[in-house]
Amino acid sequence: MLRKKSVPNFNISEPEFLISCLDRHADWAVIVCLVGGGQEINIGEGGISEWIDALNRSYPDWQIYISSRLTDSEYGAGKVLEDLSSHSHVTINENLHLAVSMRSFRAENVSQLVKQILDLDLEGARKTLSELNEKYPIVLTRDLAKAKDWLRSQARGTERYGIVVSSQAERLKPHAIDVRTPVNPVDWFLNDKHDVRSSYYLEDIGTEFSVQGLELDWVCVTWDADLRYSTDGWQHWKFHGSRWMRINLPHRQLYLKNAYRVLLTRARQGMIIVLPEGNVRDPTRSQQFYDSTFEYLRAIGFGTF
């Protein structure tokens, strides 16, 4: 608001501001919110919990109609949802949950599989994978060059493919992937196979910020050491200076987890996931940073390439 509208000290969230605009109507108004779960990837994004919090805090007279599924982990609305019990006008309706993702025409439950992977629901992920494996191929590899060959072999005609990585994937530089080099999404998504700036060329990469809300037909997700599997749960890391540092703030951990949720749901027809081998001579790319995640994904049942 300060940068674009020259309004200093603007201290309310986007949901609260939008509700306040319609609350000015003397008779009535309706807001329909289509809010995706697990899509908060940047500072200031509160997701659906901020809508509920704003209603609780400032608009007790508004009538609220919500899904019964907001307690699922990716919505992050558990605590705020409990607070709705004090709100006098709440209707719970299970029909308000849009359960079927239409992002992939081949397999509608890819989002469910990604949720189970990130929730460390091993058995659930195995079951979901078995249901979509034939229609929607997902394979693992340790070799980025092989992943590029796989993408090219899968695509037919003008089907689009590309490489996506986390914006925190700063130790993929040895693989010619530099997240600090910004990509132009227009060139990346729209230009043809003969343009070095296009996704087809497999040189420029998309991060969660440039691909959120958009899709490719075939995707290579190159997984760095920023999100690491362990038996105690996901470990969250950020590369700073010359070493990895733990991310301890819960909201920053959530953003990183959601970044991988975005990356793993970009493909319409199939994807390949790359876990680099690491390098014993490079302490910032230790093999153990990648091996545990690779073994976890392989235990789910993904084939290797």
Give pLDDT tens digits for 26-40.
Answer: 999 999 988 766 666
What pLDDT does residue 80 have?
59
What confidence category does residue 125 fall into, taking pLDDT thresholds of 50, 70 and 90? very high
Which amino acid makes up residue 29?
Answer: A
Are 22 and 62 within one domain? yes
End of a domain among 62, 96, 130?
96
What confidence category does residue 79 fall into, taking pLDDT thresholds of 50, 70 and 90? low
What pLDDT does residue 39 have?
65
| Residue 290 located in a structural domain | yes
What pLDDT does residue 267 have?
95
Whole-prediction pTM value?
A: 0.80
Strands (E) located in the chain: 64-66, 90-92, 138-141, 161-165, 216-222, 227-228, 235-240, 243-246, 267-274, 303-304
End of a domain among 96, 131, 153?
96
What pLDDT does residue 294 have?
98
Are 287 and 160 within one domain? yes
What pLDDT does residue 12 have?
86
| Residue 103 located in a structural domain | no
Which of 56-60, 84-88, 227-231 is the least confident region?
84-88
Q: Secondary structure of 41-64 in the HEC alphabet?
A: CCCCCCCHHHHHHHHHHHCCCCCE
| Residue 102 located in a structural domain | no
Are 91 and 121 within one domain? no
What confidence category does residue 238 fall into, taking pLDDT thresholds of 50, 70 and 90? very high
What pLDDT does residue 14 have?
86
pLDDT tens readout for residues 129-168 = 999 988 999 999 999 999 999 999 999 999 999 999 999 9
Are 271 and 241 within one domain? yes
Percentage helix, strand, coil, to 5, in the chain?
40, 15, 45
CA-nearest of 211, 249, 252, 192 to 40 is 252
Domain count, the chain: 2
Are 298 and 151 within one domain? yes
Are 178 and 72 within one domain? no
CATH of the domain at 190: 3.40.50
| Residue 105 located in a structural domain | no
What confidence category does residue 46 fall into, taking pLDDT thresholds of 50, 70 and 90? low
Are 65 and 117 within one domain? no
Which of 60-69, 108-117, 161-170, 200-209 is the least confident region?
60-69
End of a domain among 53, 70, 96?
96
- The percent of residues in the chain predicted with pLDDT above 90, rounded, is 66
Are 124 and 59 within one domain? no
Are 243 and 145 within one domain? yes
Q: Which domain holds residue 65?
A: 11-96
- Res 178 pLDDT > 70: yes
What confidence category does residue 104 fall into, taking pLDDT thresholds of 50, 70 and 90? low
Are 90 and 126 within one domain? no
| Residue 217 located in a structural domain | yes
| Residue 222 located in a structural domain | yes
